[in-house]
Structure 1
Amino acid sequence: MLQIDPEHPQPEGIFEASGILSTGGVIVFPTLTLYGLGVDAFNARAVNTLFEIKGRPTDKPILILICDISQLDSLAREVPAAARLLMNRFWPGRLTMVFHAKKGLPKNLTAQKGKIGVRLTGNRVAASLITGLGRPVTGTSANLSGRPGAFRISDLDPAVKAHVDLILDAGTLKGGVGSTIIDITFDSPKILREGEISASEIYKALGSTPVNVPQSP
């Protein structure tokens, strides 16, 4: 376990963690709200390990974090105009966008559904890890599937702790509601989950009217 400053991540900690990611390892790292489980998003074996650790059903895709919009080129088949409007307004931040996945990605990332959820992270630790690795990183929560997320390292399930290669401890995180998720693969983008960014803000940015907006659980 390594202590990490969430505002000014220590380079030596980032170097060690990104090195583990580059060799197919799994780490626990802080995000803006909860601790996450990170692997190299392009390493199919590492992504499989992630599913095994969480006990996550294989029909549920995994969120991907990027640190620069240019990294979308390696993940999304296309970036519609609506997505660019939302990027300019809300990224980096608490908005996850679902794109048509580019061919060649690990199938377990997309749950073989042909779509992929991506967020430009606003978290300095996550951004530093992605920069250090040079590739996108998974952003799923560090918990067993269906269980509550962890705000503190002490909240981590022992089964998770036992199977990761490194834990970056940034103290107690703020928690809060999750990101808003919008599928922009439709002609009229659909909000799949309303989170920190409200539906009204999303549709105002798009200049359209909300339709069938699910509420946060």
Structure 2
Amino acid sequence: MQNPELDDEIAAAVAALRRGEAIGLPTETVYGLAADAAQPDAVRRIFALKGRPADHPLIVHIAGADQIDAWACHVPDAARALAAAFWPGPLTLILARAATVADVVTGGQDSVGLRAPAHPLAQRLLRAFGGGVAAPSANRFGRISPTRAAHVRSEFGDAVPVVLDGGDCAVGIESTIVDLSGDTPRILRPGVISRAQVEAVIGPVAVGAAASSPRASGTLAAHYAPRTPLRLLPRAELVAALPATADALVLALDALPVGSEGLSLPADPAAYAHGLYAALRELDARGAAMLLVERPPAGEAWRAVHDRLGRAAAGAGVGVGVGEDAP
């Protein structure tokens, strides 16, 4: 049975997109700040709202693989195989752009990032809208990505009047980005879809950007950053630092050290990723002098979490504008 209230919300969101407005859109990774990717002025509104540099490309969110050819050209078989395996889902493909894609979407590059999100509300919106939406994460440039509708509202208030509430994001960190625009497939940003999973579909892939790689979301040194300074430490060093660190809050694995204040997250990579940004936002809002974050275990399963925490530490405690991301 259809939900009339939800149908009304989707209709209002579609109408806002057609008017050139930006909306808050839930995905399984993080919430996006979405605008009609076919309207350059609407896309520019995203940049203005976020305070985002114009040369940063955006990811275009589409409903499914049947829309790839509207946005990309010279699509390799590897791209279609990955889309068949992982879409809808937390995987972004960078491909040669179609001639009709606006420069403002691609940051002036010859490539475009495409993703089909798995969140059911995002899917309903995209199918009802019928086009693609450009959607970086719905936060101010360089700050912590939002995983709840309330995070989007607190960031933008009345400037983004339509925010679809899809609950907490199931994944909690941004998509894996695979660049297929050059001769060698490359993972430019790690995510919950691992290198091994990608290679099981298309064979060997490189990791990290080459000199010829396009600019992509999530590849600046500083992203996901709290305003509070942040130190990332192994547990023993964190415990040793506590007596000398006045007014510090801790983000720990499994349990807080005795005598400390803060939050803990499960020592499981998927569960940790799911709760990471909400925990950082809560701790950042408490106004402490320092955040001490326990370094998670090494290993491939934790690669994406280490990536996010390292970039958060690099940008923490500095002014707005250090970096930004897309779902």
Superposed pair shares fold, TM > 0.5: yes
Q: Deviations over 1:132-176 (max 9, x none)?
A: 211111231110111001122332364522321312223333353
TM-score normalised by structure 1 residue count: 0.89
Q: Residue 286 of structure 2 aligns with which residue?
A: none
- Which of residues 10, 13, 16 is equivalent to 2:9? 13
Where structure 1 has 5 or more consecutive residues not aligned to the other structure, the ranges are none
Give the structure 1 partner of residue 290 of structure 2: none
Computing the radius of gyration from Cα coordinates, the structure with the larger value is 2
Q: How does 1:46-195 map to 2 (within 5 A)?
A: 46-156=42-152, 158=154, 160-195=156-191
- Percent of pairs identical after alignment? 33
Contact 1:53 1:159 in 2 (8 A): no
The one-letter code of the counterpart of 2:75 is V
The corresponding residue for 2:37 is 41
Q: Secondary structure of the equivalent of 2:118?
A: coil
In structure 2, give the amino acid aligned to 1:186. G
Q: Which moved more, 1:70-79 or 1:141-150?
A: 70-79
Shift of 1:125: 1.1
Aligned length: 210
> Deviations 1:52-73 (Å, cap 9, x if unpaired)?
1011111110011111222112
Change (3 A) 1:177 1:171: closer
Looking at structure 1, the residues matched to 27 and 206 of structure 2 have their Cα atoms a distance apart, in angstroms, of 30
User: Residue 146 and residue 46 in structure 1: after superposition, are their counterparts in 2 closer, same or farther (change >3 A)?
Assistant: same
Q: Which residue in the other structure is 2:266 paired with?
A: none
Which amino acid is the alignment partner of residue 211 of structure 1? A
4+ residue runs over 6 A deviation: none
Q: TM-score, normalised by structure 2?
A: 0.60
Determine the C-alpha separation between the residues in 2 that align with 1:34 and 1:110: 20
**Superposition CA RMSD, Å:** 2.0
SS of aligned partner of 2:25? strand
- Aligned residues of 1:144 and 1:157 also touching (Cα < 8 A): no
Q: What letter corresponds to residue 128 of structure 2 in structure 1?
A: G
